[in-house]
């Protein structure tokens, strides 16, 4: 198989596609590609179909911005949730982590990012205006800022807290049970649950 053959082109394209995954370099991508082609072609086809369906069928919830296959995600469509609380997270993965703790029954707002001045990302780029509008709706008594405890996450929480408080909206922050420098989606569920309970 030469580098110019169609097979080589398809293999290289697969390796390049796999390298898009976080933490996957050239060697890991090659290992995954060779494994799928040599040992699990059915798995490769299943993965391809699942990726295609997800890319075409999953969008964002109109109300909270998390991933959803319908206009409203299951959480936003649930009338049994506590409308007095709104939890602000950076990503849909962070929301999923909080949901798995079974410690929170309010609604969410997903920023889809965090303030990062070095990357040119300010409060406008992360949806701060939409958050303020959502938090100003009737019934919201507390906005829980659950951004990560990285420098950018702390900056995001600080800026949003100031904006919320200037409008008379109570803003709280996750307690320090979550380790400094951690990404919320990778923190163990017990730590997240305690951080929610002990928020200030």
Per-residue pLDDT of the chain (200 residues; tens, 9 = 90+): 444 455 569 999 999 999 999 999 999 999 999 999 999 999 999 999 999 999 999 999 999 999 999 999 999 999 999 999 999 999 999 999 999 999 999 999 999 788 777 777 777 777 888 998 999 887 899 999 999 888 888 888 988 999 999 999 999 998 766 777 888 888 888 788 877 877 76
pLDDT at 8: 62
| C-alpha to C-alpha distance for 58 and 68, rounded to whole angstroms | 6
What is the separation of C-alpha 92 from the centre of its chain, rounded to a whole number of angstroms? Answer: 3
- pTM for the whole thing? 0.77
pLDDT at 82: 95
Identify the structural domains of the chain with CATH numbers, from first to last: 12-56 (1.10.8.420), 82-173 (3.40.1360.10)
What is the separation of C-alpha 94 from the centre of its chain, rounded to a whole number of angstroms? Answer: 5
| C-alpha to C-alpha distance for 109 and 116, rounded to whole angstroms | 19
């Amino acid at each position: 198989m030469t580098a110019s053959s169609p097979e080589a082109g398809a293999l290289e394209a697969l390796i390049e596609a796999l390298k898009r995954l976080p933490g996957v370099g050239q060697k890991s991508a090659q290992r995954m590609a060779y494994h799928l082609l040599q040992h699990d072609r059915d798995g490769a086809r299943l993965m391809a179909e699942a990726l295609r369906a997800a890319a075409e069928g999953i969008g964002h919830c109109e109300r909270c911005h998390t991933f959803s296959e319908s206009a409203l995600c299951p959480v936003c469509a649930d009338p049994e949730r506590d409308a007095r609380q709104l939890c602000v997270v950076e990503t849909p993965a962070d929301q999923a982590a909080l949901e798995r703790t079974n410690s929170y029954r309010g609604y969410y707002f997903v920023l889809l990012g965090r303030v990062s001045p070095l990357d040119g990302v300010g409060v406008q780029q992360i949806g701060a205006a939409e958050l303020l509008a959502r938090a100003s709706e009737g019934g919201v008594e507390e906005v829980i800022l659950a951004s990560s405890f990285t420098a950018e996450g702390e900056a995001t929480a600080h800026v949003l807290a100031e904006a919320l408080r200037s409008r008379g909206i109570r803003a709280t922050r996750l307690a320090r049970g979550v380790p400094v420098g951690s990404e919320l989606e990778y923190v163990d569920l017990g730590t997240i649950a305690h951080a929610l309970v002990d928020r200030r």
